Amino acid sequence: MVVAKRVIVIGDGPSGLVAANKLRFHATEKELEILVVGNTTRHFYKPDGLFIPFGYKNYRKSVKPVDFLLNGGIQYIRDEVVRINADEHLVFLKSGKSYMADYLVIATGNRYAPEEIPGYTGEAKHFYDLQKALELRETLKGFQGGNVVIGGTGTTIQYPQALYEFAFLLDSYLTTKGMRDKTEITYLAPSDNLGTDATLSGFIKDKLQEKNIGLHASLTVNTVNQKNKEVVTGDDSKFKYNLLVLVPPHRGQQAMIQSGLAGEDGYIGVDPKTLTVKGNGSVFAVGDSNNLFANKLAASGHLEASFAASRIIADAIGGLSDDEYLSKAPQINITGKDKAFTYLGSSEAKVKAITENKGDFMLRWTSNDTYFSTIVRGMV
């Protein structure tokens, strides 16, 4: 009798869900036993956080119960991982339980650390989770003009394009409300490179100038002075604000540090060609949990989770899989309330032409439908 091999997916965020569902999609329960460990009650489609503050999306369509998003035949363990022994494939939980597996897929994602920036808490706004996006929506409803500062607090960030996309949408929003001429928008970009190559970066810079959005590149905020309503950047520059939209510091999970898998930032070191941890061919770290990219993109998490699942399937029951991981996915960038453009997100690809259109905007605006119905289900 053949005994099913066990895979434990650690994390119930986007990458964890994709990995688990992909595995279940390609293997029967007699071939693979799949366990997902996580403690999230609702799954928020983060790209919609960009639209919610302006009232361009109904947030109820951006949230689904995690249980609903897991395909049948997957065991969901509501618990918290406190430590992993990658060498022994052992997972220790907060409840005191422990599990052993043949394969591990670590998809623990980011955590936000606003406490690292003095003055951040209670002053800065952002849109990277549902509650904060809704709070920013209420703030914008009462906004009467002034200085808006948009920026980050480090170079590691989920989808950094969202910062200038927010600036473009804010420009459209304030223009519609008749308050654009009463508002100065300043974008503090963590890097001077705003795109995957010089063409894309130059296009974004020109678009910011066209919309009269002030750009200060290679700056991150170190301190928020609530009394003076100003931020201080790493080079001691100061910027006054009436509204501050600031991405909190991103870190990996503390449990990964305690497990000896990550450095102080919490991100797990992986082989960039195989996504494996510590040379262990049956332990993978995918999505925002690993140290591959400072720019944490949803598309990369999806591709990494799919790659790890394919490697496990090939090893456990046989099948075809790519020998090496290659990150290459189309990206849609928003440039206004009804305009966007698509380009190929890859370090090797060069952007040849950029064409703004309403069709790409609609694809991005409705992307949660595709995500919830097919991508997260492991169907693509």
**Domain contains 43:** yes
Task: Decide if 24 is inside a domain.
Answer: yes
Is it the case that residue 233 has pLDDT exceeding 70?
yes
Find, among 144, 202, 199, the residue nearest to 177 by Cα: 144
> Does 230 share its domain with 285?
no
Q: Is the model's pTM score more than 0.85?
A: yes
Mean pLDDT computed over 43-66: 95
> Does 238 share its domain with 119?
yes
Choose among 305, 352, 340: nearest CA to 196: 352
Same domain, 126 and 241: yes
Closest CA to 192 of 214, 217, 220: 217
What are phi and psi for residue 61, nearest 5 degrees? -85, -5
CB 35 within 8 A of CB 9: yes
At 317-372, the pLDDT tens digits run 998 888 899 887 778 999 999 999 988 765 555 677 788 999 999 999 999 999 99
- Whether 75 and 177 map to the same domain: the answer is no
Range 160-171 average pLDDT:
96
Q: What is the mean pLDDT of the chain?
A: 94
Provide the pLDDT confidence category of residue 90 given band limits of 50, 70 and 90.
very high
What would the mean pLDDT of 9-32 be, rounded to a whole number? Answer: 96
Judge if 145 and 230 occupy the same domain: yes
pLDDT at 58 over 70: yes
Instruction: Starting at the earlier edge strand, list the strands of the sheet with 90-93.
Output: 81-85, 90-93, 98-100
**Residue written as tokens 């939980």?**
93
How far is C-alpha 237 from the geometric centre of its chain's CA atoms?
A: 28
- Residue 77's contacts (CB-CB under 8 Å, 6 or more residues apart) are 35, 36, 37, 38, 93, 99
Q: Which residues contact 83 (CB under 8 A, 6 or more apart)?
A: 92, 255, 258, 259
pLDDT tens per residue, range 276-298: 998 899 999 999 999 998 788 88
What is the full DSSP assignment across 4-34? PEEEEEE--SHHHHHHHHHHHHHS-TTTEEE
Of 275 and 195, the structure prediction assigns the larger pLDDT to 275
When pLDDT is cut at 50, 70 and 90, the band that residue 241 belongs to is very high
How far apart CA 224 and CA 115 sit, in angstroms, is 11
**Residue 136 in domain:** yes
Same domain assignment for residues 93 and 120: no
The number of beta carbons lying within 10 Å of the beta carbon of residue 42 is 13
Asked if residue 340 is part of any domain, the answer here is no
Residue finishing a domain among 249, 265, 289? 249
Residue pLDDT, tens place only, 135-165: 999 999 999 999 999 999 998 889 889 999 9
Domain final residue, candidates 327, 346, 375: 327
- Asked which of 185, 218, 249 is the last residue of a domain, the reply is 249
Whole-number pLDDT of residue 309: 97
Same domain, 74 and 141: no
Phi, psi (rounded to 5 degrees) for 369: -60, -45
Q: State the CATH number of the domain containing residue 195.
A: 3.50.50.60
Domain residue limits at 202:
114-249
pLDDT of 350: 65
pLDDT value at residue 155? 86
Virtual CA dihedral for 292, 23, 38, 43, nearest 10 degrees? 80
Do residues 92 and 154 both lie within one domain?
A: no
* 125 plus 218 within the same structural domain: yes
In a domain, 218, yes or no: yes
Residue 373 pLDDT grade (very low, low, confident, very high; cuts 50, 70, 90): very high
Shared domain for 153 and 219, answered yes or no, is: yes
Same domain as 63, residue 188: no
Distance separating alpha carbons of residues 287 and 269, to the nearest angstrom:
12
Whether pLDDT at 379 is above 90? no
Number of domains in the chain: 2
Task: Answer yes or no: do 85 and 152 share one domain.
Answer: no
Closest CA to 258 of 91, 88, 78, 11: 91
Within a domain: 353: no
What do you get for the CA distance between the two ends of the chain, in Å? Answer: 32
- Residue 259's pLDDT is 97
Pairing state between β 81-85 and 74-78: unpaired
Using CA atoms, how far apart are residues 238 and 305, in angstroms rounded to an integer? 41
Position 337 in a domain = no
Q: How many CA atoms lie within 13 A of 96 on its CB side?
A: 0
Region 294-311: what's the mean pLDDT?
Answer: 91
Which two structure tokens, joined as six digits, stand for 281? 């061919």
Residue 338 lies in a domain: no
The pLDDT of residue 319: 84
